[in-house]
Structure 1
Amino acid sequence: MEFGYARVSTQEQNLDLQMDAFSKAGIKKVFTDKVSGIKSEKPQLNELLKYARNGDTLVVWRLDRLGRTTVQLIQFIEDLTAQGINLRSLTEPIDTSTATGTLIVQIFCVLAEHERNVLRERTKAGLTAARSRGRTGGRPAGLTSKFEEIKFLVKASYESKKWTIEEIMKAYKISSKTTFYKILKSAEKGASQV
């Protein structure tokens, strides 16, 4: 059985072009998402994968409807293959139920692996160059200047027990409890040094 999958990135975009292509191709059951390709969570695609069985075919208008990066796409195709589900694109020469379509996917896999290796080499070279200049990676230790300025106010608000942690976080625009406790800890150290 063939199942269509259509996706657009925003609620404002419409699926007409893709739906027309599926209709022309005779695909009756189509799952649709309105979510960015960058996001890994695509609810209707997940539904389709629960519904599909060994030997079924997932049909897309274009491969980029499944993911933005080659690496994402290759991983997805490998997952489909492991489940025995074929993939076919209406606008590209991809059909994993044929030898030629499988060859094209394998070429994509080789290119994706090469891309990962080149990226790994560049990252390693960049880190080595940075270390030779005395720089280390990672986030800078300590608080941002914004939180450094308000840490004693946050501590005083917390110790007054008039407000909940959530209310204090909202008032001082602190986005996470981890940051909140980091601010308190810094204020404690600062108070003990005075």
Structure 2
Amino acid sequence: MVVIGYARVSTKEQSLDIQIDKLNTYGVDKIFKEKFSGGSADRVELNKALDYLREGDTLVVYKIDRLARSTFDLHKIVRDLQERGIGLVFIKENIDFTNSAGKLMFTMLGAIAEFERDIINERTAEGREMAKAKGTHMGRKGKDDKDVKKALKLFEEREENGLSVNEIVKMTGVPRSTIYAKVKTRA
């Protein structure tokens, strides 16, 4: 019987230290670590951890939302672990999925976590719509007009100056998509 830990943060800037400390305190034998968004289905280290586990082993995760981002995904993972005879423990929520009370609490917390994410997404979308209605620019800040004009001039004169589009991009910092979009609107 092996106790495997899984730790995940969403961005490379975030630290795994707290999760790793809690997993080590719990007494895991091995930790799979990942710095990748949970919204992505392709979580390489999670897949390695799941493949590593055998009947009688236990998977330990610091928090429910570190394992899955949706109730559907969570239940899929849990079902797979159950069918394979593998235990599951969430440290922060104090849920040991190997008993009935843990299974009930797990289902309720998973639904609440998904509900909370949905509310956050709705508020974010509403905020974006309000900002757009007020005329606030959404997305990345565009390049200076001066740089864009320089890039377009170099683009139009590329037969004389011998520059490729990639060279113009490097010189001006204006993305090729911007250059082509501006050229298209001029035509």
TM-score (norm 1): 0.60
2:77 to 74, 77, 80: 80
Check the 8 A contact 1:96/1:102 in 2, yes or no: yes
What pairs with 1:110-189 in structure 2 (closer than 5 Å)? 110-115=111-116, 118=119, 146=145, 148-160=148-160, 162-175=162-175, 177-186=176-185, 189=186
Contact 1:151 1:184 in 2 (8 A): no
Q: Is the Cα contact below 8 Å between 1:154 and 1:183 reproduced in 2?
A: no
**Residue 81 of structure 1 aligns to a residue in which SS?**
helix
The aligned residue for residue 20 of structure 1 is 24
Q: Following TM superposition, by how much is the alpha carbon of 1:89 offset from its aligned partner in structure 2, in angstroms?
A: 2.0
- Give the superposition deviation at 1:87: 2.7
What is the match of residue 30 of structure 2? Answer: 29
1:73 Cα shift? Answer: 5.9
Structure 1: runs of 5+ lacking an equivalent: none
The count of corresponding residues between Structure 1 and Structure 2 is 176
Partner of 2:49: 48
Tell me whether 1:93 sits opposite 2:90 in the alignment: no
| Secondary structure of the structure 2 residue equivalent to 1:84 | helix
Extract unaligned runs of 5+ from structure 2.
Answer: none
TM-score when scaled to structure 2? 0.62
Cα root mean square deviation, aligned: 4.4
TM-aligned CA distance change 1:113 to 1:37, over 3 Å: closer
Aligned in 2, Cα 1:36/1:116: closer, same or farther, shift over 3 Å?
A: closer
Query: Cα gap change, 1:127/1:174 in structure 2, threshold over 3 Å: closer, same or farther?
Result: closer
Specify whether residues 29 and 170 from structure 1 end up closer, same or farther in structure 2 by C-alpha distance, changes over 3 A only. Answer: same
Contact 1:74 1:108 in 2 (8 A): no
